[in-house]
Structure 1
């Protein structure tokens, strides 16, 4: 089967890059399908909206703890393993211990956060639900094995792990639904999801002739990793605030039923966010090559990438926005129908998310990592401020508009920086279809 061409990119080179990342793309497609079919529809229809809200609330707290516990090590360890493969056991063992300790260290933070929020407004989600899910941060320490497979460019093994974990997760949730088990079982299933993936990583690592028994902790490497990875950890926390704070604030300001409806909207809206990551991973090597050899082609390829992101995201937004009522009325029970107009707004945030991912590659190529963190911080700040004012007044619709504006601010933050303003203008040309129109008329 021929892979569709992307204007401005050499077809043969693009297919080569795409094949290198194809396994990762397939894994993300599997994750998307599982999330959409099981979580958005089957599980939502099984649980009442209030129960679905109670189930999702622990993740609004735990998402922050998992971001902290990861310590920003994954990408950095991958880079180090590429440079120093002979120190595999030392790097993996050290990173594992650091993440494991950090995972346990976040448990008191989760306890403190829950009780601070609960003192302001009594929560309907019991603390032991949150504590169960909080152990995800501990279990995910094993996932540092992902860095090893990434460093070896062995994406197919990551695919096997992702598919195995998600198949087990899907079967478990479906079995719980068929058996008509109570809510607490689905709370445990959130932790089981992490256990399945971690276990799959361990099995795959061992099957490929490696041995975790050889891992060792090196204090000098630990200091080196922590010294260089903290900006990535801080950025991950900011990104979590930027993307997930709305659900946490809904659980604080509104009834838990509203969080259930909004969580369903978010799951559906974000189900295709794997697409920009897959595309930019495929074309990024071509963009970097152009940057080093031909500046004019470099900027042309970036413009083509922005155009593609707009076409894909706007197309998906139109379908989900105008079809939101039909989707909810056909596939979800009546108490979730209030989410249809919210979906019609929320889904347009995807346009800015796609452009943000694409422009993020430009920031990486130019070495503007601090600016990337700053734009995320700007989006997080806007999201928090708008939600404080709009959720009490407009409910979950206010949260949807806050997300839309925050994503827009983050994506186009580069307009306010002189050295990146040119890229912001290129993105605007794509957003308003100016660039695409010029290509059509030139032909």
Structure 2
């Protein structure tokens, strides 16, 4: 893989990173393409209302994934790097913690549904999908392969499981003409297939789940590290998904089904900024330690890069939205203008991911929580205001406002306002013009 030159960053560092993670990236892209194509077929088969009902159950369970995952993965990778001799204890303890969290999520989901159900979505659908929290406990094997710099196995498992899942869902559509309940089971099966793939691959590498052990001291250590990520993950879930449930409850399942197609397309590329930031941030942190001026330049370069990628993509998809919806049945066509608006949220997501990493580097984790919480409040408030007046378009506008507000919330905090100004310079291409003038 040829690595392009990025101003302010060492090509050697990029090559080293992509050598280790490029296969995982390919796996994620491949899985994404498969999933998107199959979801289009499901949306067309179920039509607006039933697709909205199905998506309501998927979205509801999504709220609790931060709890069931416990935010453990990155800490497990770190522990496996530092103490490879304790592999079975680290994996066994993490698995037990995730399993307990998945079991705890079952009554929590039930109570949440009783308090604020998704209109038209039966609780049975939510209950079936809520078992994903238990099944995904086995995905703790993923961090093990990351720690071993063996991302090709992650890619193989993901692509294979999604291919099998795609075949099953297409059979449900074109051979069995199945009812909606079977698609609920099919989405649960996605997690089963992924877990089975990880287990088989782990065993083929000469490892055994029977050797996993639980250690109470390590469990307390991992939870003490991960609880801020759990809270942050819950807020992010509300921040990014509450609009879909609110639309379904305040309007109807049909509009929720149309909006679900918008969200799937608009958010499909949100993994890219995380990959970029993970690639470049070690170099930024080194500059922070050695040279403050260089640190600021590299941070500005990172913000610029986020805009250089997200802005053209938003422009292209805005114009291409009507063509994209040619892939759907005509009843979905009215969602095309909504996609043209919602896609611009990605610009603020890209900048937000970059600045969020900067907040962590500067030890402002608490402010990161506050910023996400502020975005969630703004999202809920504007959805309450705009959904009754504008319907599905109101939801997209509310999301765009919320993402922008959350990203630039730091400009009102004196000690972080300079970072907000740097993002503004990138967003409005001021820093780009300054570079051109200097040349």
Aligned counterpart, 1:30: 30
Distance across 2 between alignment mates of 1:43 and 1:53:
11
Q: Does 1:320 align with 2:350?
A: no
Aligned counterpart, 1:86: 85
Which stretches in structure 1 are left out of the alignment for 5+ residues? none
Aligned counterpart, 1:143: 139
Shift of 1:231: 1.2
Distance across 2 between alignment mates of 1:192 and 1:337:
30
Distance across 1 between alignment mates of 2:255 and 2:327:
19
Quick one: which of 284, 290, 294 aligns to 1:293? 290
Aligned counterpart, 2:102: 103
User: Runs (4+) of structure 1 moved beyond 6 Å?
Assistant: none
Alignment of 1:425-436 (within 5 A): 425-436=421-432
Distance across 2 between alignment mates of 1:18 and 1:422:
31
Distance across 2 between alignment mates of 1:161 and 1:377:
35
Distance across 1 between alignment mates of 2:13 and 2:77:
24
Aligned counterpart, 2:381: 385
Q: Deviations over 1:248-298 (max 9, x none)?
A: 111211110011000000001111222212222222222222222222222
Greater displacement, 94-103 / 12-21: 12-21
Q: Deviations over 1:328-367 (max 9, x none)?
A: 2x21111101101111110000000011111122223223
Contact between 2:26 and 2:155, CA under 8 Å: does it hold in 1?
yes
Instruction: Tell me the SS of whatever aligns to 1:338.
Output: helix
Distance across 1 between alignment mates of 2:413 and 2:154:
38
Cα RMSD over matched residues?
1.7
Alignment of 1:353-372 (within 5 A): 353-372=349-368
Alignment of 1:171-320 (within 5 A): 171-179=167-175, 180-320=177-317
Distance across 2 between alignment mates of 1:293 and 1:20:
26
Shift of 1:378: 1.3
Distance across 2 between alignment mates of 1:11 and 1:94:
38
Distance across 2 between alignment mates of 1:428 and 1:402:
21
Shift of 1:403: 0.7
How many residue pairs are counted as aligned between the two chains? 438
Contact between 1:17 and 1:283, CA under 8 Å: does it hold in 2?
no
Q: Does 1:437 align with 2:436?
A: no
Greater displacement, 350-359 / 318-327: 318-327
Shift of 1:429: 0.2
Q: Does 1:158 align with 2:154?
A: yes
Aligned counterpart, 2:72: 73
Shift of 1:247: 0.8
Q: Deviations over 1:299-356 (max 9, x none)?
A: 111111111111211111111112212322x211111011011111100000000111
Alignment of 1:337-416 (within 5 A): 337-416=333-412
Distance across 1 between alignment mates of 2:104 and 2:222:
18
TM-score w.r.t. structure 2 length?
0.95
Which stretches in structure 2 are left out of the alignment for 5+ residues? none
Distance across 1 between alignment mates of 2:63 and 2:214:
26
Q: Deviations over 1:69-119 (max 9, x none)?
A: 22222222222222222222122112211211221121112222223334x
Distance across 1 between alignment mates of 2:188 and 2:312:
35
Greater displacement, 310-319 / 388-397: 388-397
Contact between 2:35 and 2:162, CA under 8 Å: does it hold in 1?
no
Aligned counterpart, 1:115: 114
Distance across 2 between alignment mates of 1:366 and 1:23:
31
